[in-house]
Structure 1
Amino acid sequence: MERQVFPFSSRQAFQQQLRLCLSRAERRLRLFDPDFALWDLGTGEVEAILRPFLLGGGGIALLAHSDALLERQCPRLLRLLTQFGHRFECRVSSKNLRHLTDSFCIADDLHLVRRFHSDHLRGEAVFDSEADTRLCAERFAGMWLEAEPGLHPSTAGL
């Protein structure tokens, strides 16, 4: 496949590219955002993408500065976490990383949706390019090692 790049600057375009990236994942998803407020992870549409992915053996690593919004507003996501806890892990970043303000989703080290700053919608989706995902993947790996356990079924009251 040839590298494809799609800039975006609206919530609708971000949602469209994010869902496309999620749906292209076959093995692994890594997601980072300070709070996931604009991701709509609690919707039925996202659940319909993630459930077959998890059933097929895929794994999700989700990292946030705060998981409070996910716990309050994403019951479908929490249900997936309960059902697929062995393939789905959420962590909260360490305090020394709270200054990080970008936001990204990496699928299979091949597809990337990235907002340059979590307070803004400007960003880009890049598909079929391992080179474009490499920096975010390396950053995610470092942040993940320093992160603390976040949401899990017992903290969500499930």
Structure 2
Amino acid sequence: MDRQPFDTRAGFQAQLDQCLSRARLTLQMFDADFGWWELGSTRNDALLRAFFGHGGRLQLVAHSNARLERDAPRFLRLLRDYGHLIECRVTNRALQMLTDSFCVGDGHHIVRRFHSDYFRGEAFFDAPSSTRTALERFNEIWTETRPGLHGNVTGL
């Protein structure tokens, strides 16, 4: 259970790549708008397609989906192609003050940014005890959300 600290965009993306490539069953993601996650990049498209190819399920929660709709057409195609395995939700006003950001893979891997405006954070792999609090928090946030993006988003 080694802590992998990072404080740059490249460091965050490298740790996120590790989490996405290790996950097989579940991914739970929370961020203000996923603007820095590069979910629409060719690399993440390939990692997520491999994940969905194994039957993995993605739960994504954001305060706003506007940046995904505007900047991530590949992710919208994933949503269209694998909509049965992806659920995107949006927080209500009461949760808009939450500023952290994290991705949990299979309940064993976590990449966490301490504040969504900055890249400083940490990652743990093969460390279920390090993901427990984030998963509990994610489930609490999830109960206070409403449906977000759907596979039929056209961007028009």
Place the TM-score, normalised by the shorter chain, in its bin: over 0.9
Q: Tell me the distance in 2 between the aligned counterparts of 1:30 and 1:140.
A: 7
Question: Which among 33, 49, 52 is matched to residue 51 of structure 1?
Answer: 49
Question: Which among 141, 144, 157 is matched to residue 142 of structure 2?
Answer: 144
Q: Tell me the distance in 1 between the aligned counterparts of 2:154 and 2:30.
A: 20
Q: Cα deviations across residues 26-56 of structure 1 (Å, max 9, x unaligned)?
A: 1000000001111111000000000011021
Q: Tell me the distance in 2 between the aligned counterparts of 1:88 and 1:25.
A: 14
Q: Cα deviations across residues 107-141 of structure 1 (Å, max 9, x unaligned)?
A: 00000000000111110011111111011101100
Unaligned runs of 5+ in 2: none
Q: Cα distance 1:156–1:150, how it changes in 2: closer, same or farther (>3 A)?
A: farther
Unaligned runs of 5+ in 1: none
Q: Could you tell me the TM-score, scaled by structure 1's length?
A: 0.96
In the alignment, which residue of structure 2 is the partner of 1:126? 124
Question: Which among 104, 107, 110 is matched to residue 106 of structure 1?
Answer: 104
- Counterpart secondary structure, 1:62: strand
Q: Cα deviations across residues 53-93 of structure 1 (Å, max 9, x unaligned)?
A: 10210000010000000011111111111111110010001
Percent of residue pairs bearing the same amino acid type: 52
In the alignment, which residue of structure 2 is the partner of 1:88? 86
- List, as ranges, runs of 4+ consecutive aligned residues in structure 1 with deviation greater than 3 Å: 155-158
Q: Could you tell me the TM-score, scaled by structure 2's length?
A: 0.97
Q: Tell me the distance in 1 between the aligned counterparts of 2:5 and 2:35.
A: 20
Q: Tell me the distance in 2 between the aligned counterparts of 1:156 and 1:60.
A: 21
Q: Tell me the distance in 2 between the aligned counterparts of 1:155 and 1:17.
A: 29
Amino acid at match of 1:146: E
CA RMSD of aligned residues (A): 1.1
* Deviation of 1:21 (Å): 0.6
Amino acid at match of 1:40: E
* Deviation of 1:156 (Å): 3.6
Q: What is the count of residue pairs matched by the alignment?
A: 156
Q: Cα distance 1:156–1:139, how it changes in 2: closer, same or farther (>3 A)?
A: farther
